[in-house]
Amino acid sequence: MSAERWIELDGAVNVRDLGGLPTVDGGTTNAGVLIRSDNLQGLSDKDVRRLVDDYGLTTVLDLRTPTEVRLEGPGPLVTEGLRHVNLDLIPTWDVAEGASERIVPHEQREEGDLSHFYLTYLDQMPQSVVDALRVLADPATGPVVVHCAAGKDRTGVIVALALHVAGVDRAEIVADYALTGERIEAVRDRLAASPTYAEDMKNRPIDDMRPHALSMRHFLDRLDERGGAVAWLTEQGFGPDEQAALRGRLIS
């Protein structure tokens, strides 16, 4: 990955621009349209100015649960006046309702593979998945940052679907997902420093958090077994016109 895609900030560590990725038909994704990130709560004033003034961000697509947003707040970018869209991919996971002492569920791996866990987002909350892609496809959204807590799982699935619809080469989608592994120690340290996530991080081995390329490969393969990501989205109401709008936003 080109070093230029990483966005180095004081208050977030897993931030990158999804521009410059090759498509299967020889194109590339546009820079400055879609940024992915870990938790944005710690952004400094300098970070906010960089993202707003230099990148022109206008929308925050927040994939955290309502519990996370309630405990953490919407973040400095929202205070700055950016549009905040919160879509929950884990709707039944609410600590206040006694679901668990954890803020979000641990990913349950099958020999290092998280693909089945990622499919639960589609199976349990398909409307949130589609609504997230609608935000990304809407020209009125402007440049957008999509994030969750680590910027790995929930963010990874929405980004992968968007890039797939846009025609990005599958190997590049997998590689982008796995890149979070380069920053996973820093991500863990940031979460451990937050009262919201600290208890979750205490006894969690770093390897339990590390993303593996096979998880995204198998997720896309399992979608193929269901007819493919595009077919699934069409069945959910995100049809050819909206898919074309998303491609138009992401590809020159």
Q: How far is CA 223 from the centre of its chain?
A: 18
All structural domains of the chain with their residue ranges: 3-246
Q: How far is CA 38 from the centre of its chain?
A: 8
pLDDT at 101: 44
**One-letter identity of residue 61:** L
Are the C-beta atoms of residues 14 and 132 closer than 8 Å to each other? no
* CATH number of the structural domain 3-246: 3.90.190.10
Q: Count CB atoms within 10 A of the CB of residue 17.
A: 22
Q: What is the pLDDT of residues 146-166, one digit of tens each?
A: 999 999 999 999 999 999 999
Q: Count CB atoms within 10 A of the CB of residue 200.
A: 19
Angle at alpha carbon of residue 61, lines to 175 and 213, rounded to 5°: 15
The values of phi and psi at residue 145, to 5°, are -110, 130
- For 231, the enclosing helix (H) or strand (E) is helix 229-235
Residues (pLDDT < 70) of the chain are 1-3, 91-111
d(CA 137, CA 135): 6
Q: Single out the catalytic residue among 13, 148, 174, 191.
A: 148
Phi-psi region of 227 (alpha: psi -120 to 50; beta: other; left: phi over 0): left
pLDDT at 95: 47
All residues at 6 or more sequence positions from 39 whose CB lies less than 8 Å from its CB, including other chains = 12, 64, 72, 75, 147, 148, 149, 150, 151, 190, 191, 194
47-51: long-range contacts, CB 8 A cutoff, minimum separation 24:
47/9, 47/10, 47/11, 47/12, 47/76, 48/76, 48/77, 48/80, 50/7, 50/9, 51/7, 51/9, 51/77, 51/145
Average pLDDT, the chain: 91
pLDDT at 204: 86
Can 39 be counted among the known catalytic residues?
A: no
